[in-house]
């Protein structure tokens, strides 16, 4: 029941400043699709999903996410997973710097100076909280379409889990390390905040933390590290554009694997930085009753203009790493599958945040409704979504107040509850077609 994921980071859609670089980066992204499909085929399976550890866009604009969505759809199709099985966290390039007002900058600077106390004060005030998250407007629409909503209460988001054996589950925990990112960010000055640092461990589950910034970028890194080493088994990050792997023995029977990703599309291509991504396999080591993580690092061959195995990265490192997994060992083993029956590749399933009990995704929402939500929030700009809500009489035509992302989600859910998914789907498809026709003219 091995679960295989394509791991991307720092894709930076929209970073190109000239036409030539657009062609070069687009070619590398096409070659990545080919390479990922070929490597997954070698495993004789299909992928369970895609992980993106931040910086999907470059300037956090709708147009950049539109291109990212089209490319991610192609990737999902090539590796055999649903486009709904894509999970992500925001990076510093996923905030709109144009939305940082002088007041917002003042508050961000205050959080850097005063830490948790100031951050908690902003998060507890509804108006200040929404102003804090306004910088993520385009990202919130994009990620919300996938069900990877930002928790505006400042709490971590636990979105999906995947079973790797009977009674043995891997839970993915998403953190927002870009929460107080501003126009310029210095190493060691960012903060997760107490609400993200504290997450619940569950017997039978080992947690994989997804975060954009490595710990050294956080001023609360020491306290965060204490929770991570006690309750998580894997930390996957991006941001620094150069890959690294470190496995720490926390205590007997407990390890922590920290994987920093190279950039899928770095700012510049040189001897150190080039196109990179990973293929990660999570499975259960029966003998050790432990989580095993296999890393297939992929890097760009400059001479042959293609991806290949990154042997330099793996030099002196193990491809398959069996980690001391205390939360697996604390849960009883359940009956093994019947011999001779081959299980299908495991797929991710939505889960609720065990701390808050909130459901970032509706656990009962069928895939067809999730697909409508994906197209509505990801593929349509705000003005077209608003027009649909007016046409379906979810909101009055003369409403002048701006609809923030949370309110839009509520109106969408209300229409679903009224049994109007067909109308929503038809209106969304028509708006997307109209938009494409307009772009072609």
Q: Residue ranges of the domains in the chain?
A: 3-350, 367-440
Q: How far apart are the C-alpha atoms of 402 and 363, rounded to whole Å? A: 29
Report the interhelical angle of 405-417 vs 137-145 (nearest 10°).
30
Angle among Cα 184, 186, 188 to the nearest 5 degrees reads 145
Q: Residue for token digits 């708006």?
A: 431
What pLDDT was estimated at residue 422? Answer: 96
Alpha-carbon span 281 to 260, nearest angstrom: 16
Q: Give the pLDDT score at 348.
A: 78
pLDDT for 358:
52
CA-closest candidate to residue 380, choices 336, 433, 319, 310: 433
pLDDT at 339: 46
The pLDDT of residue 360: 46
Closest residue by Cα to residue 331 from 204, 222, 165: 204
CATH of 3-350, one of 3.40.50.620, 3.30.565.10, 1.10.3720.10, 3.60.21.10: 3.60.21.10
Let me know: does 69 contact 226? Beta carbons within 8 Å: no
Q: In the prediction, which pLDDT does 355 show? A: 56
Alpha-carbon separation of residue 69 from 56, 63, 65, 74, 195 (angstroms):
10, 10, 6, 9, 30
pLDDT by residue for the chain (441 residues), tens only, comes to 799 999 999 999 999 877 888 999 999 999 999 999 999 999 999 999 999 999 999 999 999 999 999 999 999 999 999 999 999 999 999 999 999 999 999 999 999 999 999 999 999 998 888 888 999 999 999 999 998 988 878 887 776 899 999 999 999 999 999 999 998 899 999 999 999 998 888 999 999 999 999 999 999 999 999 999 999 999 999 999 999 999 999 999 999 999 999 999 998 887 789 999 999 999 999 999 999 999 999 999 999 999 999 999 999 899 999 999 999 999 998 765 544 434 566 777 767 666 555 544 455 678 899 999 999 999 999 999 999 999 999 999 888 777 888 889 899 999 999 999 999 999 999 999 998 887 776
Q: How far is CA 184 from CA 3, 38, 208, in A?
A: 37, 39, 29
pLDDT of residue 113: 93
> What's the confidence (pLDDT) of residue 160?
86
Do 52 and 8 form a contact (C-beta atoms < 8 A)?
A: yes
> Partners of 371 in the beta sheet?
none
d(CA 230, CA 26): 41
């Amino acid at each position: 029941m091995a679960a295989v994921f394509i791991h991307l980071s720092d894709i930076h859609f929209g970073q190109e400043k000239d036409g030539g670089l657009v062609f070069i980066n687009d070619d590398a992204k096409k070659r990545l699709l080919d390479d990922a499909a070929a490597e997954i085929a070698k495993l004789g399976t299909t992928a369970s999903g895609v992980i993106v550890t931040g910086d999907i866009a470059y300037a956090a604009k709708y147009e950049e996410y539109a291109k990212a969505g089209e490319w991610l759809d192609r990737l999902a199709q090539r590796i055999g997973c649903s486009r709904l099985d894509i999970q992500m966290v925001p990076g510093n390039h996923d905030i709109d710097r144009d939305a940082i007002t002088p007041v917002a900058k003042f508050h961000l600077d205050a959080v850097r100076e005063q830490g948790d106390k100031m951050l908690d004060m902003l998060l507890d005030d509804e108006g200040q909280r929404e102003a804090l998250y306004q910088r993520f407007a385009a990202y919130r629409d994009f990620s919300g379409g996938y069900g990877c909503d930002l928790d505006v209460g400042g709490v971590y988001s636990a979105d999906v889990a995947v079973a790797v054996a009977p009674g043995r589950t891997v839970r993915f925990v998403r953190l927002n390390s870009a929460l107080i990112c501003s126009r310029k960010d210095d190493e060691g000055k960012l903060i997760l905040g107490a609400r993200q640092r504290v997450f619940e461990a569950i017997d039978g589950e080992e947690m994989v933390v997804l975060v954009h910034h490595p710990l050294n970028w956080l001023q609360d890194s020491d306290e965060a590290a204490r929770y991570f080493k006690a309750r998580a088994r894997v930390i996957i990050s991006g941001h620094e554009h150069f890959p690294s792997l470190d496995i720490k023995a926390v205590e007997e029977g407990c390890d922590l694997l920290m994987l920093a990703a190279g950039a899928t599309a770095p700012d510049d291509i040189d001897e150190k930085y080039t196109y990179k991504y990973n293929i990660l396999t999570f499975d259960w080591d029966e003998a050790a009753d432990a989580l095993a993580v296999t890393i297939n690092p992929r890097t760009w061959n400059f001479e042959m203009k293609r991806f290949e195995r990154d042997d330099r990265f793996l030099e002196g490192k193990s491809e398959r790493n069996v980690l001391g997994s205390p939360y697996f060992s604390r849960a009883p083993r359940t009956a093994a599958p019947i011999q001779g029956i081959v299980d299908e590749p495991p797929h991710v399933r939505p889960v609720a945040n065990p701390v808050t009990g909130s459901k970032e995704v509706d656990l009962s929402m069928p895939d067809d409704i999730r697909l409508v939500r994906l197209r509505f929030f990801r593929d349509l700009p705000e003005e077209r979504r608003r027009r649909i809500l007016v046409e379906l009489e979810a909101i009055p035509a003369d409403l002048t107040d701006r609809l923030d992302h949370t309110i839009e989600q509520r109106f969408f859910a209300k229409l679903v509850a009224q049994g109007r998914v067909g109308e929503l789907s038809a209106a969304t498809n028509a708006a997307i077609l109209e938009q494409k026709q307009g772009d072609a003219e």
